[in-house]
Chains A and B, each alone.
Chain A
Amino acid sequence: MSEVKNDVLTDKELIVGGRTLKSRLVVGTGKYANYEQMQDALEMSGADVITVAVRRERLVDAEGRSLLDFIDTDKYTILPNTAGCFTAEDAVRVSRLGREILDQLNNPGKDWVKLEVLNDTKTLLPDPVGTLEALKELVADGFKVLCYTSDDPVMACKLKEAGAASVMPAGSPIGSGQGVLNPNNMRIILEMLKEGDEDYPVIVDAGVGTASDVMIAMELGADAVLLNTGIAHAKDPVRMAHAMKCAVEGGRSAYLSGRIGKKLYATASSPWSGVISYIPGE
């Protein structure tokens, strides 16, 4: 067998908001049993961009350990989110506070934000009106906004038009583990956002339960997947981080390879000519 040249596996770089991502998997830092487990899972995931939340400093902390003691800020680009915000105004405030901390850390993520403006605590579905309002204000303030949204193609287009650095449709509700519930909408979003602008980054964010969900998102043509709970709440988060890494790579390769069409009936893989046996219908 001839040796397969590695260059058949080349892929174009994923650039979001002017910055190149090495990995197409972006992972969150929440919900781990402890910081050590988080560190191991982050390492195993191969991600170079990680999300964090912005919260009040707990002025009394028994353990005195903080997330930043466990994150190598030279290694990871930190993407602060606005999780927990239910109004555009609060999302803008939280974005600015996140930028101030990352500026102190001199982290490259300082002008990035993962914008979430949520509607309610039960569904955690995005409020489209508040999201668009906050996006416009943040873009005007110089932020590169990675914008969480539902899988509505019309809303996705409006967010891109308003200047989102990346539109990030949810596969299914945050933390639900239901995977990509509406692959047709995801296809339409990808087609509409990439029409005449094929490198515009679309990242599937939220709802991923296991590796096959990641593969489906990537096979549809998403540029990357962002997830947290699927790894952090797996029984073995570190092994699941490895599974998600493999799934992103496998799904991306499958997408680039161009899958075969689906047919109702079988197509033989072995030739009919030269068959020595009886063939029905011949």
Chain B
Amino acid sequence: MKLIVNGDEKDLNVQTVRELLVELGLGDQPVAVELNRDVVPKREHDSKQLTEGDQIELVTLVGGG
């Protein structure tokens, strides 16, 4: 399924947010997920289904002032 992840189109064989994170090697890290501009809380990662064309932002914390 084609997804837009952090601005880039990716073709991935995943069904849920949780599967997407695992596929990208982020399964164990603190990552916030935004799906079509709404935050998906971690407790919903397993159940949240993805659909073709979804826009996803995966963000973390970096140094800043």
A interface, CB within 8 angstroms of B: 28-32, 38, 51-57, 59, 66-68, 78, 80-81, 83, 93, 96-101, 103-105, 174-175, 206, 226-229
Partner of A93, one of B29, B37, B62: B37
Q: Residue B14 at the A interface, CB < 8 A?
A: no
Chain B contacts with A in 25-44, Cβ cutoff 8 A: 26, 29-34, 37, 39, 41-42
Chain B contacts with A in 1-48, Cβ cutoff 8 A: 5-7, 24, 26, 29-34, 37, 39, 41-42
How far apart sit A183 and B19, CA to CA, in the bound complex (Å)? Answer: 54
Q: Are B59 and A83 in contact (CB under 8 A)?
A: no
**Which residues does chain B contribute within 8 Å of A83, judged by CB atoms?**
64-65
B interface, CB within 8 angstroms of A: 5-7, 24, 26, 29-34, 37, 39, 41-42, 57-65
Q: Which residue of B lies closest to A71 (CB)?
A: B61
**Which residues does chain A contribute within 8 Å of B30, judged by CB atoms?**
68, 101, 104-105
Q: Are A57 and B6 in contact (CB under 8 A)?
A: yes
Q: Are B65 and A54 in contact (CB under 8 A)?
A: no
**Which residues does chain A contribute within 8 Å of B29, judged by CB atoms?**
57, 66
Q: Which residue of A lies closest to B26 (CB)?
A: A57
Assuming A30-B65, A105-B30, is B24 touching A55 (CB within 8 A)? Answer: no
How far apart sit A93 and B38, CA to CA, in the bound complex (Å)? Answer: 8
Q: Are A97 and B65 in contact (CB under 8 A)?
A: no
Q: Are B41 and A97 in contact (CB under 8 A)?
A: no
**Which residues does chain B contribute within 8 Å of A93, judged by CB atoms?**
34, 37
Given contacts A93-B34, A101-B60, A104-B32, 19 further A-B contacts (CB under 8 A): A28-B63, A28-B64, A30-B63, A31-B63, A32-B63, A53-B62, A54-B59, A55-B61, A55-B62, A56-B58, A57-B31, A78-B61, A80-B61, A97-B59, A100-B41, A101-B30, A101-B32, A103-B41, A175-B65
Q: Are A97 and B64 in contact (CB under 8 A)?
A: no
Assuming A227-B65, A228-B65, A229-B65, is B41 touching A56 (CB within 8 A)? Answer: no
How far apart sit A67 and B32, CA to CA, in the bound complex (Å)? Answer: 15
**Which residues does chain A contribute within 8 Å of B41, judged by CB atoms?**
100, 103
**Which residues does chain A contribute within 8 Å of B26, judged by CB atoms?**
57
Q: Which residue of A lies closest to B37 (CB)?
A: A93
**Which residues does chain A contribute within 8 Å of B31, judged by CB atoms?**
57, 101
Q: Which residue of B lies closest to A226 (CB)?
A: B65
**Which residues does chain B contribute within 8 Å of A32, judged by CB atoms?**
63
Q: Are B34 and A52 in contact (CB under 8 A)?
A: no
Q: Are B61 and A174 in contact (CB under 8 A)?
A: no
How far apart sit A59 and B57, CA to CA, in the bound complex (Å)? Answer: 11
Q: Are B58 and A57 in contact (CB under 8 A)?
A: yes
Q: Could you list some 11 contacts between A and B, CB below 8 A?
A: A29-B64, A38-B63, A55-B60, A66-B29, A66-B60, A97-B34, A97-B39, A98-B32, A98-B61, A101-B61, A103-B41
**Which residues does chain B contribute within 8 Å of A54, judged by CB atoms?**
32, 59-62
